[in-house]
Amino acid sequence: MNTDHSLISGTRRIAGRVLISLGSILLIGSAVAKFTHVPKVVTELGAMGFNDDRLIAIGVLEMLSALLFLFRSTRSLGLLLVSAYMGGAIATHVGHGSSPIQPAFVLALLWLGAYLCHPQILWSFGSSFQPAQTMRSAVEVRGS
């Protein structure tokens, strides 16, 4: 499979970078809110059992995950960590009777951004998830 980054259209790459940046900024902002003990955040997370040291610990995990995802050289590890982190947030919301829509939306945003820049992340689904330009280019390279 050809995973050459240069075969992705400019518009697609820009859209992916915007979504990756936006999602990362959301997570970084959320982590900062935990570090600075914003009253609303402290109250909401305290009701779910996260306070004091636990609040700081999840802020560190969130910040680390976001930063690893933001930079291309560590994005694959970052995607794994933000997926695990947001999966935990979704489970926590469901477990406490809250709507999981907010963390699920952020997770979808992060995955969409990653897919737009790196379509190979869905390699196991086969060619149906590969951009047409990449597939045509791969065939042309094999044919020459």
Q: What is the pLDDT of residues 51-80, one digit of tens each?
A: 888 999 999 999 999 999 999 999 999 999
Q: What average pLDDT is seen over the chain?
A: 87
Q: Do 118 and 4 touch, CB atoms closer than 8 A? A: no
Mean pLDDT of 91-110: 95
Mean pLDDT of 19-48: 95
Q: Do 68 and 75 touch, CB atoms closer than 8 A? A: yes
Long-range contacts of 30-39 (CB under 8 A, 24+ apart): 30/62, 31/59, 31/60, 31/62, 31/63, 31/66, 32/59, 32/63, 34/58, 34/59, 34/62, 35/59
Which pLDDT belongs to residue 131?
56
Which pLDDT belongs to residue 139?
47
Mean pLDDT of 114-131: 79
Which pLDDT belongs to residue 128?
59
Between these two residues, 121 and 33, which has the higher pLDDT value? 33
Name the range with the highest mean pLDDT among 114-123, 124-133, 134-143.
114-123
Residue type, 68: L
Ranges of each domain in the chain: 8-143
In the predicted structure, residue 134 carries a pLDDT above the cut 60: no
Which pLDDT belongs to residue 130?
56
The conformational region for residue 126 under phi > 0 = left, psi -120 to 50 = alpha, else beta, is: left
